[in-house]
Structure 1
């Protein structure tokens, strides 16, 4: 059963269902709460090809209908989100056709109300320079990925790292840490509890960070 609720103050209401003038049968309690409110977007800068995980923090997100990215040329883009009461997480959409830097507005829709949630800045894709895959034991792989230093503040929750091997095998690589020196940033991840790690380390493979493929340059 679907129905529209009347406006009200922030309070509890009792709901009952009545058929043809009969007794109103209790259906439980209903809470009226304030509209959702955004307090922070992390990270607030992402890359133009999309795929990085973006998190919005705030309150009352469990009542939103959907999350929207508003672009001046592409219009409103609905994104697939996962929300709890205090945060929403979504993959940044691909805006590859946009030239250079661009800013988009992040909005929450609650029925016919659109709530501004802040701005997400898009920059050119990060420049990965290569990777190295090593195995110290035959059940574990260590993957090191290097990229040029940039303005992206990449963290564990922002990216998914995948190693592809053979025709259709792929492994999720668990983020370990990220280090930065004067020129390059190194991302370290590990794949554990696998078979034939030594064979995979020395055979043909490719590595992808979210939607971005790392060039097949083996680091020394």
Structure 2
């Protein structure tokens, strides 16, 4: 509450339409020009508010309107990564009254953002997890905690494995390989930068994410840089930051080639064994 000469205010009186529905609340953080007080619970509708002086007089004619309690009916998206900071939109009604969000695995209240009827927040960290875990989400409203009807599922952080960069005219097309997961990451959630030889970052503009059963391809382009050569890429998703360099990519490809090389060697040895067996058989055959 703001006003003038509020130093002597001892409490705030809240009164409904009936004289018997009178409630009072103590004040705190009184600076003389502003003060804070808790609004007690009440029924839907409007009440009159005045400030009480030491002599019992109640001055002022402010009005407070009680609305319906908020409700949380859904979370979009319904998954997040372990490191946190994924933007989650809360679905429900009367969300303008929400003061924060609480996860059952993280005791601190998370700040929310409300604009044009939309409420959203960033997920907190979930430590020491290596498999999907569900977290109950609740809305903090004054002295109440209201649980959402749906839960949020935490998954391990996205895993980016390698990249390739191909020049296309004046642009550099970068394709980043990512292990398939259930996070359903959107292009606007990923930031990619190419790191040049002089260690300067250059933005790689996101284009699309091509999904498959085993590996997803994150595709972006570094625009209008005909002479650009990058030595690595920097990928940011929420609180996750991954650096991939060309050495990592080459080693990964060699590692992926190992099973193929083993198969080729095994097949060669089998064919060699068959050929040797035929040769020995022909050598021992008395007809030859």
Which band: TM-score by shorter chain? 0.7 to 0.9
Equivalent in 160, 176, 196 of residue 128 of structure 1: 160
TM-score where L is the length of structure 2? 0.59
Question: In the alignment, what sits opposite 2:125?
Answer: 94
Which residues in structure 2 correspond to 1:156-171 (within 5 Å)?
A: 156-157=187-188, 159-163=189-193, 165=195, 170=201
In structure 1, the partner of 2:234 is: 207
C-alpha separation between the residues in 1 aligned to 2:142 and 2:151? 22
Counting matched residue pairs gives: 210
Q: How does 1:116-155 map to 2 (within 5 A)?
A: 116-117=147-148, 118-133=150-165, 136=168, 142-155=173-186
For CA contacts below 8 A with separation 6 or more, give which structure has more relative contact order: 1
CA RMSD in angstroms comes to: 3.4
Mark the runs of 5 or more structure 1 residues left unpaired by the alignment: none
On the 8 A contact 2:192/2:206 being kept in 1, the answer is: no
Q: 1:168 to 1:120 in 2, by over 3 A?
A: farther
Q: Does 1:197 align with 2:225?
A: yes
**Which has the larger helix fraction?**
2
In the TM superposition, residue 76 of structure 1 has moved relative to its aligned partner by 1.5
Task: Assess if the C-alpha contact under 8 Å between 1:54 and 1:89 holds in 2.
Answer: yes
Q: Distance in 1 between matches of 2:139 and 2:93?
A: 12
Residue among 145, 158, 163 paired with 1:114 = 145
Instruction: Flag the structure with larger Rg.
Output: 2
CA deviation digits over 1:142-170, x for unaligned, max 9?
A: 5433212222222245x241416368855
Q: CA, structure 1 residues 171+38, in 2 after alignment: closer, same or farther (shift >3 Å)?
A: farther
Distance change (3 Å), C-alpha of 1:171 and 1:83: farther
Equivalent residue number for residue 30 of structure 1: 64
Residues in 2 aligned to 1:59 and 1:198: alpha-carbon distance in whole angstroms: 51
Give the CA deviation at 1:171. Answer: 5.5
Post-superposition offset of 1:191 = 5.8
Cα distance change, pair 172–64 in 1 and its aligned pair in 2 (3 A): farther
Cα 1:174–1:153 change in 2 (3 A) is: same
Change in 2 beyond 3 A, CA 1:137/1:21: farther
Structure 2 runs not aligned, ≥5 long:
1-34, 254-288
